Amino acid sequence: MSKGTVSINAENIMPVIKQWLYSDKDIFVRELVTNGCDAISKYRWLVSNGKAELDESPERIDVIADKEQGTLTFIDNGIGMTEEEIVKYIAQVAFSGATDFITKYTEESKDQGAGIIGHFGLGFYSAFMVSDKVVIDSKSYTDAPAVRWTSEDGMEYEIEPSDRAERGTAITLYIDEEDKDFLNLWTLRKTLEKHCAFMPVPIFVSEVTKPEEPKEGEEPKKPAEPQQINDTHPLWMKRPNECTDEEYKEFYRKVFNDFEEPLFWIHLNAEYPFNLKGILYFPRIKNEFTASEGVIKLYNNQVFVADNIKEVIPEFLLLLKGCVDCPDLPLNVSRSFLQNDGYVKKMAAYITRKVADRLVTEFNTKREDYQRYWDDIHPFVKYGCIKDEKFYERVKPALIYKTTSGEYVTLEEYLNRNCEGEENKTVYYASDEKRQAQMIRLYTDQGKDVILLDTLIDNNFISFLEYSERDGKISFKRVDAAADSLTEEGEISEDARKKLEGLFRKAMADEQVDVQLKPFKDEGLIAMITVDEQNRRFTEMSSRWGGPDMKLPEKRTLVLNDKHPLVKWLKDAEENEHTETVCAQVADLAEMARQPLVADRMVDFLKRSNQLLTELIGK
Ligand code: ADP
C-alpha cells in the first residue's frame, strides 16, 4: 500500500467545489456518470482505432445503492485507469486527464477527440460533497493490475491492489449522514432522470437487497432487475426527416409530462456556424395565467445542464417547451460570461430566427391550421415582437387578427379591405365582444371589419405596432374611441352645439364631457359616447401594472346624431319639463352601449324608465 497527498491545487479547488455545489448538491451524480460515459467513449475510440481489443461486454453504467452498507456505487466498463493514471488524473486534479488523453493521441484524434473531453472540470471531486469516504476500483484496458484508491477528504489518499476483474471503474461513495436520502432508490432515480435522462450510454439503477428467506414451498424471490433510466438516442439527435409526428408527440409527453398535445414544433439542427440541435414545442396554452410555464432544457452533448437559461435562450422563447443541445457552449462558466459572449448571442439570434421562420412557413403553407393555433400562440408571438424587434421584422407576414365575424386577416389584408386610399389608416378593434356588441354593429353595418384584441398583451402590442409602423400612418382605435368613420360631413352650427352641450352637462351633472353634433350614417342612432384612445390605453396600462396614481381622467365625448328627430327637437324646441329627462335618458343609453352603468346611475335610469313607461300609457 502506498500513501500520498493530492497536489496542492486540490486545496484550492475543494472550497470552490463546496461553494459551487452548495445550491445544487445532486450534481455529483451528473459528474460521476459523465466521467463513466467519457471513459466508455474513450474505450470505444481506442477500439475503433485499433488501439484496444474489443470484448463483447455491452457498454453500460450501473448506479447501485446499498442502504445497509451506506454506499452508492457508480460502475462503468470504460477505459479504466492504471495506478499511474489514477495518481495523475485523479490526484493531480489541476490537470485535466482528457487533455492528456488528447495530446497522447493527437494525430488520430483530431476529429473525434474534442468531443470526448470531460466538460465539467471539477467533476470527480464533487463526490466528496456527499461522502465520508470515496473508493475507486479500476482496471485499465491495458494489462496493468487493478488498483484501489481510497480517500476520506479528497486530499490524502491510499493506494493498494484491487480485486476488480473487469475492465472499467467502480467508484464507491460512503454517503455521509446528512445525505443519506441519496440511498433511497426513488431519490436516486429522480436525480438520475433529471441529469442523465439522455446520456449516450445506457444507465441502470438498482439497489442491493437482502434476499428474503423463501417461505416453505415457495420459489425464492428474485432481486429486482436494474432499470435503465435513460434514452440514449434522444429525438433531437435524429435527422428531422427521419422523425414522425407520433415520435415528436411521444417525446413531448415523456419529457414534459404534458398530456395536452403540442400545437407544433421546430426541430433545430445546425452544424454551421455552430453546432446546435434541439426541438422546440409550442404548447397549448390553457389560459393566460399558465402562459409562462414553458421550460427549455439545455444540454451539452446529451448531458443536462440547466433549465431556462435566459442568457442562451431569448427570454420570450422560454414560454415554449423544448430541449436544446449545444455541445460547444462553455456552460460551466458563469452566467455573466454567457451574457456577454458573442457566440451565445449569435446562437440566441439563430434560435429566434428559426422560430420566426417556422411561424411564417406554417402561415404560408397551412394557413387554416395556423389560424386554428393562433388563439393559443398569439400572446407569445406578440410578446416576442415587443421584446425583440428582429423577431418582429421576421414574423411580421404571419401576424394575423381575428375579426368579429370569425375571419383571420393580416394587417395588410385589413388595410386593403377597409382603408383603401386613406392617408391615415385606422384599424378598429373591440376588447370585449359581448359588451361592445352594439358599438361593433355600428361598424359592421357600414361594412367595416372590427378585429378582436382581448388579451393582456394587446394594449402594449398595438402601441408597439403604431410606433414600428409609424411611416405607414396606422393607428388602432377601439370601437368606442371615435365616431369619425360612422358620421358624414355636414355643416353644424356652433350655437346649436353649445346649446346641447349646456343641456347635457346639466342633465348628466358632468362638467367634463364634451358634446359634439354630427350627422351619423346610421339614422336610427341617437348618440354615442367616445373615449379618447390614448388616454384610455394609458390608464389601463398603468392600473394593470400597478400604478393607480397615474390614472388620467377619461376624455369623454358625447356625439349626438344631428339627423335624429330627438336631437333635432332638443336643438330647436324651447326647453320644457321634458328636456332634462330626455337628455338624461339619451346620455344613459349611450353610456350603456359601451359599458354597464355605475350603481347610482343605474338606479336613476331604472326609475326614470319606469316613469316614462307609465307616462306612455297616460297614467
Ligand atoms: P474531467 O472529467 O473534467 O477531466 P474529473 O475530475 O471528473 O475531471 O476527472 C479527472 C480525470 O479522471 C478524467 O479526465 C479521467 O481521465 C479520469 N477519470 C475520472 N473518472 C473516470 C472513470 N470513471 N474512468 C476512467 N477515467 C476516469
Q: Look at residue 274 and give its three-state secondary structure.
A: coil
Asked if residue 88 has pLDDT above 50, the reply is: yes
242 CA to centre of ligand 1 in angstroms: 35
Asked if 306 contacts 300 with a C-beta cutoff of 8 angstroms, the reply is no
Q: How confident is the model at residue 78 (pLDDT cuts 50, 70, 90)?
A: very high
Give pLDDT, residue 19.
Answer: 54
Cell triple for residue 139? 482496471
From 216-230, 523-537, 544-558, the region with the lowest mean pLDDT: 544-558
> How confident is the model over 360-369, as a mean pLDDT?
95
Give pLDDT, residue 118.
Answer: 34
Give pLDDT, residue 587.
Answer: 94
From 31-40, 253-262, 408-417, the region with the lowest mean pLDDT: 253-262
- Kindly report the number of other CB atoms within 10 A of residue 47's CB atom: 14
32 CA to centre of ligand 1 in angstroms: 8
Q: How confident is the model at residue 57 (pLDDT cuts 50, 70, 90)?
A: confident
Give pLDDT, residue 224.
Answer: 79
100 CA to centre of ligand 1 in angstroms: 11
What are the start-end ranges of the H helices in 388-512?
389-395, 411-418, 437-444, 458-468, 494-508
What are the start-end ranges of the H helices in 225-341?
245-256, 335-340
Give pLDDT, residue 97.
Answer: 40
Residues 6+ apart with CB under 8 A from 433: 404, 440, 452, 454
Torsion, CA 88, CA 92, CA 98, CA 100, rounded to 10: -60
- Taking CA atoms, 400 is separated from 130, 316, 473, 615, in Å, by 55, 19, 19, 52
Give pLDDT, residue 112.
Answer: 37
Residue 20 or 479, more confident: 479
In terms of Cα–Cα distance, which of 176, 294, 278 is closest to 237? 278
Asked if residue 244 has pLDDT above 80, the reply is: yes
Q: Is the shortest distance between the CB of 33 and ligand 1 below 6 Å?
A: no
35 CA to centre of ligand 1 in angstroms: 5
Q: How confident is the model at residue 109 (pLDDT cuts 50, 70, 90)?
A: very low
89 CA to centre of ligand 1 in angstroms: 7
Residues 6+ apart with CB under 8 A from 478: 428, 429, 430, 431, 436, 533, 536
Give pLDDT, residue 117.
Answer: 30
What is the separation, in whole angstroms, between the first and last Cα of the chain?
117
Q: Is the shortest distance between the CB of 127 and ligand 1 below 6 Å?
A: no
Q: Is the shortest distance between the CB of 401 and ligand 1 below 6 Å?
A: no
How far is C-alpha 435 from the geometric centre of its chain's CA atoms?
A: 33
DSSP state of 90: I
Q: Rounded to an integer, what distance in angstroms lies between the CA atom of residue 299 and that of residue 278?
A: 9
Give pLDDT, residue 8.
Answer: 45
Asked if residue 386 has pLDDT above 90, the reply is: yes
User: Measuring from atom 19 of ligand 1, which residue has the nearest CA?
Assistant: 35
Residues 6+ apart with CB under 8 A from 410: 397, 399, 400, 401
Residue 232 or 102, more confident: 232
Q: How confident is the model at residue 393 (pLDDT cuts 50, 70, 90)?
A: very high
Place of cell 353649445: 498
CA pseudo-torsion sign 335, 341, 347, 351: positive
Give pLDDT, residue 609.
Answer: 95
Give pLDDT, residue 7.
Answer: 55
80 CA to centre of ligand 1 in angstroms: 10
Place of cell 402590442: 461
Average pLDDT score over the chain: 86
Asked if 585 contacts 608 with a C-beta cutoff of 8 angstroms, the reply is yes
Q: Rounded to an integer, what distance in angstroms lies between the CA atom of residue 248 and that of residue 208?
A: 36
From the CA of 120, give the closest atom in ligand 1: 3
From 141-150, 199-208, 538-547, the region with the lowest mean pLDDT: 538-547
Asked if residue 505 has pLDDT above 60, the reply is: yes
How much of the chain, in percent, has pLDDT values that exceed 70?
87
Q: Is the shortest distance between the CB of 81 and ligand 1 below 6 Å?
A: yes
How far is C-alpha 578 from the geometric centre of its chain's CA atoms?
A: 61
Pairing of strands 408-410, 425-430: unpaired
In 3-state terms the chain splits into helix, strand, coil percentages (rounded to 5) of 45, 20, 35
346 CA to centre of ligand 1 in angstroms: 32
pLDDT of 180-192, one tens digit each?
999 999 999 999 9
340 CA to centre of ligand 1 in angstroms: 30
Q: Rounded to an integer, what distance in angstroms lies between the CA atom of residue 10 and that of residue 607?
A: 87
Asked if residue 557 has pLDDT above 70, the reply is: yes
From 79-83, 91-95, 188-192, 306-310, the region with the lowest mean pLDDT: 91-95
Residues 6+ apart with CB under 8 A from 399: 381, 385, 410, 411
From the CA of 96, give the closest atom in ligand 1: 4
- Taking CA atoms, 328 is separated from 232, 302, 325, 343, 529, in Å, by 20, 12, 9, 10, 61
Q: Rounded to an integer, what distance in angstroms lies between the CA atom of residue 421 and that of residue 86?
A: 81
pLDDT of 65-76, one tens digit each?
999 999 999 999
Q: Look at residue 113 and give its three-state secondary structure.
A: helix
Q: Is the peptide bond before 283 cis (omega within 30 degrees of 0)?
A: no
From 5-19, 158-172, 435-449, 519-533, the region with the lowest mean pLDDT: 5-19
From 287-301, 379-393, 401-415, 431-445, the region with the lowest mean pLDDT: 287-301
How far is C-alpha 7 from the geometric centre of its chain's CA atoms?
A: 45
Q: How confident is the model at residue 107 (pLDDT cuts 50, 70, 90)?
A: very low
Give pLDDT, residue 333.
Answer: 55
Q: Is the shortest distance between the CB of 102 and ligand 1 below 6 Å?
A: no
Cell triple for residue 17? 467545489
pLDDT of 291-311, one tens digit each?
556 789 988 889 888 887 877
Q: How confident is the model at residue 554 (pLDDT cuts 50, 70, 90)?
A: confident
pLDDT of 565-602, one tens digit each?
999 999 998 989 899 999 999 999 999 988 889 999 99
Radius of gyration over alpha carbons of the chain, in Å? 36
Q: Is the shortest distance between the CB of 96 and ligand 1 below 6 Å?
A: yes
Q: Is the shortest distance between the CB of 89 and ligand 1 below 6 Å?
A: yes
> How confident is the model over 46-63, as a mean pLDDT?
89
Q: Look at residue 577 and give its three-state secondary structure.
A: coil
Q: Rounded to an integer, what distance in angstroms lies between the CA atom of residue 210 and that of residue 264?
A: 49
In terms of Cα–Cα distance, which of 122, 124, 145 is closest to 136? 124
Give pLDDT, residue 17.
Answer: 53
Give pLDDT, residue 12.
Answer: 54
From 133-147, 342-356, 437-451, the region with the lowest mean pLDDT: 342-356
